[in-house]
Chain A
Amino acid sequence: MNNVKKQELIWTPFLILLSREIRRFFKVMAQTVLIPIVNSFIYLLIFGVSLGKHIQVIEGISYLEFLIPGLVMLGCMNNSYQNGSSSLLGMKFGGEIVDIKASPLTVQHIIWAMSLGGLCRGLTVGFVIFLSGELFYYFYESSFLIPVHPFYFILFCAIGGLAFTKLGIAVAFIAKTFDHVSAIGGFIILPLITLGGVFFSLDNLSPFWIKVSYFNPLLYFINGVRYGVLGVSDVPVAVAFWISILGLLIFHLAAVWTLKRGSYQPW
């Protein structure tokens, strides 16, 4: 059979898989975008507004202000991770992984298309959480929270979102059951994110726990975003940047390694 059309095997497969990824999470919007937003709304209401009146984390900054960037990053990273892992698990469960592997898509195509798809979901959720935060902030402070360094705000969200989708891909690819992915998400990722400084500053911890926190890579992602929004951070922003980049690189290599070595057999 003669092809009427000429195949373009570099950008087309990548862009099509990326569009599939984005359309996938928009098709299940309630699950992928609305639920995380409702959760963040509750956090803002309870911690930011109700309990937050009695909490002072950093001099001159209200707890609501302190909380917003952390929640944005929490939503962004958690949803990016969920997107990478659930998309790949769906492919394994439904057998679509065979289609993907049998096609001319390369490992780099798959990882980057899925990562950018996950990042889109992470940024969408993060952006809407930020808007919700602005709503609360305006209600209580009668002004908007303007990011001090918007470039850093977007940069750290992007690095965090990309890194965590890649982690989700790696975890889902080596997982043998749905339980494995939930266990890693629930027992490792979520505690690391929440203990990475979403709700508190390192200044509130004892010296021992400050030292322990420095080993939590998520501290650097979250503080990078906080620097972008508030101009303050528990760690120097350059350190946060390079450790976040290192995290991104490690998670990328983990995803490449699993996709090159792992099994493409459907469940």
Chain B
Amino acid sequence: MAILKIENLVKNYGSFQAVNKVSFAVHSGEIFGLLGPNGAGKTSIISIITTVEKPTAGSITINDMKLNQHEKKAKSIIGVVPQEIITHGYFNVEEILNFHSGYYGLINNTVRINELMKKLELWDHRHKRVRQLSGGMKRRLMIAKALVHSPRLLLLDEPTAGVDVELRYSIWQLVKELKKMGVAILFTTHYLEEAEQLCDRVAIIDKGQIQKQGETTTLIQKLTSRHLTLILKNKIECSHPALINYQNNTLEFRVPYSKEMGKFLSELNLQRENILDMKIREGTLEEAFKYVLNQGEL
């Protein structure tokens, strides 16, 4: 079931078109990655879903409710982790979470708040103000705020930007747990290996337009190739069109996913005893991303 459905979304800032006819859907229990270079329009899309920005055209449906008609109800099921850290000058962690819970219509939500503070390792810092927290702690607080009302749709705008490896890993684990619980997650990130690991589907956006979207593995297979490296005992003559590099008895081939590896090897007519070693490297989302943005050769 689509929790978030965006159709023909357009956002203009004067003559600059930040978002151009963007359409996609995020389903329950799915992680959808929105990938693109800086200024591609990812944050504009998130800002429009959270109503921080108004769209120029297009429609947004959240859990079968049109956002512009049922704004309050629709927003009550969204959790947001914005890109920028929010400082909340006067209040401590516990107060901030209590307020945030209240904004979403929940009072005396102590059990959930305590659970989140413990899970996100904020418990020992609950009486500290935001400015007393480390960068990682601030990021954890932002995530706790987004989850305080158990949202059905979670918007994560670069949640791992500038965090250490340990925290990044724990955010990944949390995102996977939320997915298992049926939360629909819209995820933007600059780290493509992260998107590849986490996202069921991705959309690659550039200059406000979605260039490609689909299942992560399918997109990788469509847009990239496997790299086959053969290390030979004796040098041979090879002029196969898939050959991309040949140095010191090492041959490197680009093998499309459409071709079976066994068939490809037999095409090479190699003697088995001449092969010292063989490595296959799968295509990556980063390669697919570069391909889409540059429309270049892989």
| Among A75-83, A88-96, A137-145, A185-193, the stretch in contact with B | A88-96
- Asked whether any CB of chain B lies closer than 8 Å to the CB of A20, the reply is yes
Are B102 and A15 touching (Cβ within 8 A)? Answer: yes
Q: Which of A237-267 contact B (CB under 8 A)?
A: 264-266
Are A7 and B105 touching (Cβ within 8 A)? Answer: yes
Are A94 and B99 touching (Cβ within 8 A)? Answer: no
Are A5 and B106 touching (Cβ within 8 A)? Answer: yes
- Asked whether any CB of chain A lies closer than 8 Å to the CB of B259, the reply is no
List the B side residues contacting A93 at CB < 8 Å. 87
Q: Which of B95-110 contact A (CB under 8 A)?
A: 95, 98-107, 109
| Nearest-Cβ distance from residue B10 to partner chain A, whole angstroms | 18
List the A side residues contacting B102 at CB < 8 Å. 12-13, 15-17, 19
| Among B30-38, B73-81, B196-204, B249-257, the stretch in contact with A | B73-81
> Contacts A9-B76, A101-B50 hold; do A96 and B86 have CB atoms under 8 A apart?
yes
Select which of A27, A28, A94, A104 is within 8 A of B73 by beta carbon: A104
Which among A7, A96, A104 has the greatest number of chain B C-beta atoms within 10 A? A104
List the A side residues contacting B150 at CB < 8 Å. 1-4
List the A side residues contacting B88 at CB < 8 Å. 94, 96
Are A1 and B99 touching (Cβ within 8 A)? Answer: no
Are A20 and B80 touching (Cβ within 8 A)? Answer: no
Are A99 and B107 touching (Cβ within 8 A)? Answer: no
Are A104 and B112 touching (Cβ within 8 A)? Answer: no
Are B89 and A94 touching (Cβ within 8 A)? Answer: yes
- Asked whether any CB of chain B lies closer than 8 Å to the CB of A211, the reply is no
CA distance A19 to B95 in the complex (A): 11
| Among B168-176, B177-185, B218-226, B240-248, the stretch in contact with A | B177-185
Are A95 and B84 touching (Cβ within 8 A)? Answer: yes
List the B side residues contacting A20 at CB < 8 Å. 91, 99
CA distance A8 to B149 in the complex (A): 12
Are A12 and B152 touching (Cβ within 8 A)? Answer: no
* Identity of the chain B residue whose Cβ is nearest the Cβ of A100 in the assembled complex: B103
- Asked whether any CB of chain B lies closer than 8 Å to the CB of A105, the reply is yes
* Interface residues on chain A, number (Cβ under 8 Å): 36
Main secondary structure of the interface of B (DSSP, over half): loop
CA distance A94 to B98 in the complex (A): 18
> Contacts A13-B103, A104-B103 hold; do A99 and B182 have CB atoms under 8 A apart?
no
List the A side residues contacting B165 at CB < 8 Å. none
Are A98 and B181 touching (Cβ within 8 A)? Answer: no
CA distance A114 to B121 in the complex (A): 32
CA distance A10 to B193 in the complex (A): 43
| Nearest-Cβ distance from residue B89 to partner chain A, whole angstroms | 6
- Asked whether any CB of chain B lies closer than 8 Å to the CB of A212, the reply is no
CA distance A27 to B98 in the complex (A): 17
Are B145 and A1 touching (Cβ within 8 A)? Answer: no
Are B107 and A16 touching (Cβ within 8 A)? Answer: yes
List the B side residues contacting A7 at CB < 8 Å. 76, 104-106, 149
* Identity of the chain A residue whose Cβ is nearest the Cβ of B72 in the assembled complex: A104
* Identity of the chain B residue whose Cβ is nearest the Cβ of A94 in the assembled complex: B87
- Asked whether any CB of chain A lies closer than 8 Å to the CB of B132, the reply is no
Are A104 and B104 touching (Cβ within 8 A)? Answer: yes
- Asked whether any CB of chain A lies closer than 8 Å to the CB of B270, the reply is no
List the A side residues contacting B99 at CB < 8 Å. 16-17, 20
B54-78: CB near A (< 8 Å → 1, else 0) gives 0000000000000000011101101
- Asked whether any CB of chain A lies closer than 8 Å to the CB of B151, the reply is yes
* Identity of the chain B residue whose Cβ is nearest the Cβ of A264 in the assembled complex: B52
- Asked whether any CB of chain B lies closer than 8 Å to the CB of A183, the reply is no
List the B side residues contacting A13 at CB < 8 Å. 102-105
> Contacts A1-B183, A98-B86, A101-B51 hold; do A8 and B105 have CB atoms under 8 A apart?
yes
Are B72 and A5 touching (Cβ within 8 A)? Answer: no
| Nearest-Cβ distance from residue A263 to partner chain B, whole angstroms | 8
- Asked whether any CB of chain A lies closer than 8 Å to the CB of B265, the reply is no
Are B82 and A95 touching (Cβ within 8 A)? Answer: yes
List the A side residues contacting B76 at CB < 8 Å. 7, 9, 104
Are A95 and B85 touching (Cβ within 8 A)? Answer: yes
CA distance A13 to B72 in the complex (A): 11
Select which of B90, B91, B103 is within 8 A of A16 by beta carbon: B103
CA distance A94 to B89 in the complex (A): 7
10 contacts between A and B (CB under 8 A): A8-B106, A16-B101, A16-B107, A17-B99, A28-B90, A94-B88, A96-B86, A98-B80, A99-B86, A106-B71
The 5 closest A-B pairs by CB, nearest first: A16-B102, A7-B105, A103-B103, A94-B87, A102-B50
Contacts A27-B90, A100-B103 aside, 17 further interface pairs with beta carbons under 8 A come to: A1-B151, A8-B105, A9-B73, A12-B102, A13-B102, A17-B102, A20-B91, A96-B88, A98-B82, A99-B103, A101-B50, A101-B52, A103-B100, A104-B76, A104-B103, A104-B105, A106-B72
